[in-house]
Amino acid sequence: MKSAVIVFPGSNCDRDVAAALEQVSGSKPHMAFHKDTELPEVDVIAVPGGFSYGDYLRCGAMAAHSPIMAVVRERAAKGVRVMGICNGFQILTEAGLLPGALIRNKTLKYICKTVDLKVETTDSPFTAHYQAGQTIRIPVGHGEGNYVADGETLKRLEGEGRVAFRYVGAAGAADAEGNPNGAMNNIAGILNEKRNVLGMMPHPERAFEPLHGNTDGRAFFDSLLESLS
Ligand SMILES: NC(=O)CC[C@H](N)C(=O)O
């Protein structure tokens, strides 16, 4: 599995996601800079978390217009798997690669904690290694993770099984109690129509190896590897 990680000024999860990709695939990801206008042939592109361009004007708004994103858009259209984690999810929505938007958390506070997520679909190259309906624990760290979309978009996401992960309460049911940011329909992660682009606010790369205290994110990367074999 060949991969690339996009590095913006202010990215801070680029190395974490690169470490997970390297461990799972055995090959070092190509680290691409925001100003680059080319990428080597890769199977997977990671748009990592962080504070690209200092989160001005909105999280992800400026990064979405950086030169490398034209290449990411092109590759996504060709079916390359593109994952946006946290700030990466914000960038992919700002770039129009995923529908909806991420606005400020309902508490107006930055939230950093581990949350329960329900795996809503295993029909994607990012989630095939989980069990449908499985509850996993993954860390979040964001100020603008509140997913919003118009009614028509939500209906399509739900109807087409494109909600990948949902925040759940302690009992494993989708509910407001487990939802840290106020996201509509408790949405934590979504897929595009072709299911090769995924965005999620929680960080699977922060729950990847035993040293992290939790390995529930590992299956995310294993799914990608397996989808390519
Ligand atoms: N960890 C992150 O990617 C943070 C995302 C973004 N800067 C926010 O605060 O919402």
Residue 132 Cα distances to 108, 144, 161, 164, angstroms: 32, 27, 12, 10
Percent of the chain scored above 90 by pLDDT? 95
User: What's the domain range around 16?
Assistant: 3-227
What average pLDDT does the segment 100-111 reach?
96
Nearest to 84 by CA among 228, 220, 222, 229: 220
What average pLDDT does the segment 2-6 reach?
98
The torsion angles phi and psi of 57, rounded to 5 degrees, stand at -75, -35
* Whether the Cβ atoms of residue 108 and residue 179 lie closer than 8 Å to each other: no
Residue 14 has pLDDT above 70, yes or no: yes
Helix (H, G, I), strand (E, B) or coil at 85: strand
Nearest to 192 by CA among 103, 90, 85, 83: 83
Atom of ligand 1 nearest to the CA of 49: 3
> Could you tell me the pLDDT band of residue 211, with boundaries at 50, 70 and 90?
very high
pLDDT score of 174: 61
What average pLDDT does the segment 188-206 reach?
98
Residue 171 has pLDDT above 70, yes or no: no
> Could you tell me the pLDDT band of residue 217, with boundaries at 50, 70 and 90?
very high
Q: Establish how many alpha carbons lie within 13 A of residue 136's alpha carbon, considering only the half-sphere containing its beta carbon.
A: 29
- Find how far residue 166's CA is from the centre of its chain: 13
The total number of structural domains that make up the chain: 1
Do you find a cis peptide bond into 57, omega within 30 degrees of 0?
yes
User: Structure tokens of 121?
Assistant: 């679909």
User: Structure tokens of 212?
Assistant: 């992290």
pLDDT in tens, 114-165: 999 999 999 999 999 999 999 999 999 999 999 999 999 999 999 999 999 9
Helix (H, G, I), strand (E, B) or coil at 118: strand
Residue 229 has pLDDT above 90, yes or no: no
Question: How far is Cα 5 from Cα 166, in angstroms, rounded to an integer?
Answer: 25
Find the 229 Cα to ligand 1 centroid distance in Å. 32
Query: Domain with 91 in it: what CATH number?
Result: 3.40.50.880
pLDDT score of 178: 87
Residue 181 has pLDDT above 70, yes or no: yes
Find the 193 Cα to ligand 1 centroid distance in Å. 25
Residue 184 Cα distances to 83, 142, 146, 174, angstroms: 21, 16, 7, 11
ipTM (interface pTM): 0.95
Find the 12 Cα to ligand 1 centroid distance in Å. 9
Question: How far is Cα 113 from Cα 168, in angstroms, rounded to an integer?
Answer: 14
Question: How far is Cα 49 from Cα 144, in angstroms, rounded to an integer?
Answer: 12
Q: Which of 144, 147, 201 to mutate to test the pocket of ligand 1 (most atoms within 8 A of CB)?
A: 144
> Could you tell me the pLDDT band of residue 172, with boundaries at 50, 70 and 90?
low
> Could you tell me the pLDDT band of residue 27, with boundaries at 50, 70 and 90?
very high
Atom of ligand 1 nearest to the CA of 141: 1
> Could you tell me the pLDDT band of residue 70, with boundaries at 50, 70 and 90?
very high
